[in-house]
Structure 1
Amino acid sequence: MLKNKGKELLFVQWLLLSFVLLSCINHAHAGVTSAFVRHEWPSVDIPLDNEAFAVPKGYNAPQQVHITQGDYDGKAIIISWVTTDKPGSNQVRYGMSDGKYDFTAEGTVQNYTFYNYKSGYIHQCLIGGLEYDTKYYYEIGDVNSARKFWFQTPPKIDPDVPYKFGIIGDLGQTFNSLSTIQHYMETGAQTVLFVGDLSYADRYEYHDVGVRWDSWGRFIEQSAAYQPWIWSAGNHEIEYMPHMGEIIPFRNYLHRYPTPYLSTKSSSPLWYAVRRASAHIIVLSSYSPFVKYTPQWRWLAKELKRVDRDKTPWLIVLMHVPMYNSNDAHFMEGESMRVVFESWFCHYKVDIVFAGHVHAYERSYRVSNIHYNISSGSPFPAPDKSAPIYITVGDGGNQEGLAQRFKDPQPDYSAFREASYGHSTLEIKNRTHAIYHWNRNDDGKRVPTDSFVLHNQYWGQSRRRRKLKKNHLHSVVKNLPRSERL
C-alpha cells in the first residue's frame, strides 16, 4: 500500500515538474508578427448628418450622456450630459426600478468657449452612497424631453470576485471606430478602460473643434451612458493651438470628462486611481510632468503603497504612450516614463500595463530593463518574472489610420503584434487567474485573435504550485492508513 502511494507521489511530482517545463517553453518561443492586413473602411470621419451622431428628439433634450466611477471604491457614479438651448434641469432622478425614482441628486452646470465655439450647458452630477452589485435606473432632463438610462454598480470589493473589463484606445469617430464600439458591446464587459485619444477633434480647426467634440459625445453614448468609462488622456486631448489663441492644455477634455481624482488625493484630474471589484486601477498622464518630485511622481509613490493585494489582487496601470513598442510609429516615445516608473512596476508586481498611442496592437512578454544604468548592466530588456505584461491597444479606429510599419526583426520582448483595428477584454476569474482577449474587428464581426491566461503577479505561479502540491500531499497522507503515515 505504502509502495503504491509512493508511486502516486512521484507521479504528482512529475506532473508538477512537467507543468513548470511547459510553462518555460511557452515563454521561450519567438514572437509573432501577424500578416493580416485590414481593408474594410477608409480612415475618414463619419459625416455629421449620419445617424451615428443623431441628436435626441425633444426641445433641449439631454445628449452626450456618459458616466464614470465617482469615488475610490465604486459606490459612487458621475453622470455627465449636455443641453444645447438652455441649462434646463440639473437633477438626476434615480432608483432601483424602471420608472420609479425614489432618489434625486442635484448636479452642477457650466459652459465654456474654445476660439469662437461656445459649448452647450455641461451638467455633471455626483451620486454617492450606492449599493454594490445593483442595477440603477436614472432619468435626466425636463419632463417633456426627459431621457432614461441605467447602470450596474460593481460587486463589493473582494479578492475573488469576477469582473470583466474592456480596453479601448485611440478611438476617434470613423466607421472603423463605430465597428470597435459595436463589437465591444457584444463582449459582455462591464467597464471600459480607455487609454487616451478620444475624439480626434484636434484634427479640425476653429469652430469645428468643438463641433467634433459634441459629435463624439453623442457617438459613444450608446455605451458610455450605461457603463463607466475610466478615462485617461492622450496627446490629442492637449489641443495646444496658439494660432487660434488656445494655449491652455486639455481644455475641452477637462470640461467634458470628469474623473474621481480627489478621492485618491491627486492634485490633477489627469492622474488618479479607482478600485473596482478585485482590481486596483491606476491612471497616469504621459503628457504631464512625471519625473522625480513632480506632483504626479509623488502621488504615484503614495498610491502604490496604498494598494492592498489581499483585497484587490489585480494591479492594472493605464497610460497613453507605451513603454515597450516595436512599431516605427512613436518608437521610444515612452522611454522617459519607463526609466522613471518601470522599477516601481516591477517592485510592486503590476500585473498588466495598457497603453495606446500607436495605431496597432502589440503584446509583450514579461520583461524589464531596470538593470542598465549607462555605465553597467545589459542595455537590452531581459525576461523578468516580476515585470508586468505591456499591451498596446491604440487601434480603436481613428482617422489617422493604422501604423503598419513594425521593426524587423521582431524584438525579443514582443510576443504578438498586428496592424489592425480592434479592442481588448480582460475577464478576471478570481485572485489568481484572468483571461485576456484581443479582438480584431474584421468584415463586420468580432474575431478573437490574441489570447492568453494571465497569472496574477502577487498570487503568483510559484505560490500556487506550492499550495497545490501541499494540498495534494496533505490529501494523499490523510487517506493513508495510520500505520502507513510517515
Structure 2
Amino acid sequence: MNIPHLSRPCSIYKTQHPSTPQTQTLQNLLPTMTTCFPSFRPSFAPTMWLSLCFLILNAARMGEGGVTSSYVRRKLAQKVTDMPLDSDVFRVPDGYNAPQQVHITQGDHEGRGVIVSWVTMDEPGFSTVMYWREDGLTKKSAKGKYTTYKYHNYASGYIHHVTINNLKYDSKYYYEIGMGHTVRRFWFWTPPAVGPDAPYTFGLIGDLGQSFDSNVTLSHYEQNPAKGKALLFLGDLSYADVYNHDNVRWDSFGRFIERSAAYQAWIWTPGNHEIDFAPELGESQPWKPYTNRYHVPFRASGSIAPFWYSIKRASAYIIVLNSYSAYGKYTPQWHWLSQELPKVNRTETPWLIVTMHTPWYNSNNYHYMEGETMRVMFEQWFVEYKADVVIAGHVHSYERSERVSNIRYNIVNDLCQPIKDNSAPVYITIGDGGNLEGLATNMTEPQPTYSAFREASFGHAIFDIKNRTHAYYSWHRNQDGVAVEADHMWFYNRFWHQVDDSASGQP
C-alpha cells in the first residue's frame, strides 16, 4: 500500500498514546485515517489495520522530540581510565624551581587585561612577568603576589598571580616567567576591540578531568581547524576530590592543561568538584584549592565573590554563574545578576552568553532536574533580556535544546511544560570532557520536545561568532576526525536577528 503525502492537517498526530485512558480507541481512528489520507481504502483484515494504526501512533509519539544519536561509542562498557602520574602530559619542566602549571585568563572587564598564573615548587622566586608585543622592542614588567595553602596532609607550592593591564587589542604578546636558567616563554593573542561585528571563536569544554579520554578531548580541541581563540570552561576541573581530595591531582591537572591554557584565556566556571568540602579530613572551608589556584576578574564586574562575574570579549558579553552558591531572592548572586543584565548593551556586545555548571534543560536521568530551582529563579530574566545561549556541564553527555522556556509554570492551569519561545536561549550541555566518572548513557524516553540533539559521547564544541547577527556552532565527538561535526547549528542573534533558528527553522 502506498500512503500518499499528507495534504491537510491530520489529527492523528495530536492523538494521545493508546495506553492512556483519554485516548481514542484504535477502532475509532479509521475515520481519522480516511480524512488524512483521502485515497486510503483499507482492504485488509481488521487486525492488520489495528496493527498499522498502532505503528503510526508510535511513530508519531517517538517523533515528538529531536534527535537521539544512534552513534555507539566503541567499547562503551570499557571503564574510563585516568592517566598515571608519570605520563608525559604531566611532566614537570626541567630546571630548578621552573615555573609550571602556567595558565592565563582575562584580567579585566573589557579584554585588555590578562591574569597570568603559575606555580613554583622549591621557593617563591619572583611574582613578575616580563611581556612585550610581537612587533615591539621594549620589554615591560608586571608584578603580582604569590600564595600558598594547606589541605589535609598536602602543602601547595608557591602559587603566583600577576595581572597585566592596558594591553593593545588584537595583538600578539610574548611573556616570560621564572628566573635564571629556568625562564620560560609563552605567548597569547588579545581579543579584538569590543564591538558589535568583532568576529571571535570560543571553544567549549566541561568536566575534563585527567583520563586518557580527557587527553583526546584536549588534543581534538587544539587540532580543530576552527581554531578556538579562548575557551569557556564549564566547571569540574581536576576531579582531585575523587582521589580522596589528594591535591597532587590539582598539580597534575595544571601541568596537563598548560599546553593550551598558557597560550589562550580559559574562562572559568566553577563546578561541584571544585567545592572540596571535606570535614572528615578537617577541611571545612569550601573552594580552597580552586580559589587559591584560579583567579578571575570578578571585582571588575562588581561581583563580591569569584564564583559569579562577567566579561566582555570581542562581540560577546559573558555572564558566569555558580550553581553551588546561594541564588535565592536577595542573595548576593541574585542581587548581582539582577543589576548585571540591564547593563548589557546589545548594540556593543550583541552576543549574550551565560555559563553555569548544572544544566536547566537535561533529558538525561543523570542529574535530572538538579537545576530546576535555579531555573525558576533566573529563567524569566534570560527570556526578558534575550540571552542567546546558556552553556552548562555536569551531565557527562552532550545535549542541545530548542529555544524553549517554562516561565509560565502554573500547575493549577496545567502550564507546566516547556514551550517554544524565540526569545529564549538555546541550552547546551557539554559535560562530556572525558573525566574518570565516565559517560551518562541513561536518557529519558521518549525524548522531550525541547531536546534537539543528544548523545552520550566525549567531545568538545566551538561557538564561532561571525558578526552581530550570525554565529556558527558545532560539536565534535572524540571518535571522529578533528574537523567532523557531529552536531551543528546556525545561531541567529536574539537582539539583532530574532528569527526561528530551531531545527525546523534552519535553511
CA distance in 1, matches of 2:136, 2:473: 37
Alignment of 1:342-361 (within 5 A): 342-361=379-398
CA contact (8 A) 1:112 1:118 kept: yes
Q: Which residue of 2 aligns with 1:38?
A: 73
Q: Tell me if 1:317 matches 2:354.
A: yes
CA contact (8 A) 2:65 2:446 kept: no
Q: Which residue of 1 aligns with 2:231?
A: 192
Q: Which runs of 5+ in 1 are unaligned?
A: 1-27, 465-486
CA contact (8 A) 2:232 2:268 kept: yes
CA contact (8 A) 2:269 2:321 kept: yes
Q: Deviations over 1:93-142 (max 9, x none)?
A: 00013996510011101101000100000000001010000000000001
CA distance in 1, matches of 2:67, 2:117: 42
Residue 240 (structure 1) shift = 1.1
- Which AA in structure 1 matches 2:153? N
CA distance in 1, matches of 2:498, 2:331: 36
CA distance in 2, matches of 1:462, 1:45: 44
CA contact (8 A) 2:113 2:164 kept: yes
Residue 375 (structure 1) shift = 2.8
SS of the counterpart of 1:439?
A: strand
CA distance in 1, matches of 2:116, 2:325: 26
- Which AA in structure 1 matches 2:439? L
- Which AA in structure 1 matches 2:237? L
Q: Which residue of 2 aligns with 1:202?
A: 241
CA distance in 2, matches of 1:45, 1:101: 44
Q: Which residue of 1 aligns with 2:174?
A: 137
CA contact (8 A) 2:363 2:451 kept: yes
CA distance in 2, matches of 1:106, 1:267: 23
SS of the counterpart of 1:263?
A: helix
SS of the counterpart of 1:185?
A: helix
Q: Deviations over 1:302-352 (max 9, x none)?
A: 110100000000000000000000001000001001000000000000000
- Which AA in structure 2 matches 1:234? G
Q: Tell me if 1:334 matches 2:382.
A: no
Q: Deviations over 1:244-271 (max 9, x none)?
A: 0011111100000001000001010000
Q: Tell me if 1:382 matches 2:436.
A: no
TM-score calculated relative to the size of structure 2:
0.84
CA distance in 2, matches of 1:281, 1:415: 24
Alignment of 1:183-262 (within 5 A): 183-187=220-224, 188-205=227-244, 209-262=246-299
Alignment of 1:64-83 (within 5 A): 64-83=101-120
CA contact (8 A) 2:204 2:430 kept: yes
CA distance in 1, matches of 2:475, 2:309: 26
Residue 48 (structure 1) shift = 0.2
May I ask how many residue pairs the two structures share in their alignment? 435
Structure exhibiting the larger radius of gyration computed from Cα positions = 2
Q: Which residue of 2 aligns with 1:92?
A: 129
CA contact (8 A) 1:114 1:210 kept: yes
Q: Tell me if 1:280 matches 2:317.
A: yes
CA contact (8 A) 1:441 1:447 kept: no
**Alignment partner for residue 395 of structure 1, among 432, 453, 476?**
432
Alignment of 1:463-474 (within 5 A): none
- Which AA in structure 2 matches 1:310? T
- Which AA in structure 1 matches 2:74? H
Alignment of 1:433-444 (within 5 A): 433-442=470-479
Q: Which residue of 2 aligns with 1:449?
A: 486
Residue 224 (structure 1) shift = 0.1
CA distance in 1, matches of 2:500, 2:260: 39
CA distance in 2, matches of 1:347, 1:336: 18
Greater shift in the superposed pair: 96-105 or 231-240: 96-105
CA contact (8 A) 2:401 2:426 kept: yes
- Which AA in structure 2 matches 1:189? G
CA contact (8 A) 1:99 1:137 kept: no
Q: Tell me if 1:424 matches 2:461.
A: yes
Residue 37 (structure 1) shift = 2.1
Residue 83 (structure 1) shift = 0.1
SS of the counterpart of 1:304?
A: helix
Does the C-alpha gap of structure 1 residues 62 and 105 become closer, same or farther in structure 2, counting only changes over 3 Å?
Answer: same
Alignment of 1:149-188 (within 5 A): 149-187=186-224, 188=227
CA distance in 1, matches of 2:403, 2:217: 28
Greater shift in the superposed pair: 86-95 or 38-47: 38-47
Greater shift in the superposed pair: 267-276 or 452-461: 452-461
Q: Tell me if 1:366 matches 2:400.
A: no
- Which AA in structure 2 matches 1:149? F
CA contact (8 A) 2:131 2:174 kept: yes
CA distance in 1, matches of 2:136, 2:165: 20
Q: Which residue of 2 aligns with 1:16?
A: none
Q: Calculate percent identity across the aligned residue pairs.
A: 57
- Which AA in structure 1 matches 2:455? E
SS of the counterpart of 1:447?
A: coil
Q: Which runs of 5+ in 2 are unaligned?
A: 1-62, 502-507
CA distance in 2, matches of 1:251, 1:461: 42
- Which AA in structure 2 matches 1:46? M
Alignment of 1:2-41 (within 5 A): 30-39=65-74
Does the C-alpha gap of structure 1 residues 99 and 456 become closer, same or farther in structure 2, counting only changes over 3 Å?
Answer: closer
SS of the counterpart of 1:221?
A: helix
CA distance in 2, matches of 1:184, 1:59: 32
Does the C-alpha gap of structure 1 residues 102 and 460 become closer, same or farther in structure 2, counting only changes over 3 Å?
Answer: same
Residue 447 (structure 1) shift = 3.0
Residue 223 (structure 1) shift = 0.2
SS of the counterpart of 1:375?
A: helix
Q: Which residue of 1 aligns with 2:3?
A: none
- Which AA in structure 2 matches 1:146? V
CA distance in 1, matches of 2:205, 2:275: 19
Q: Which residue of 1 aligns with 2:330?
A: 293
CA distance in 1, matches of 2:304, 2:287: 15
Residue 38 (structure 1) shift = 1.7
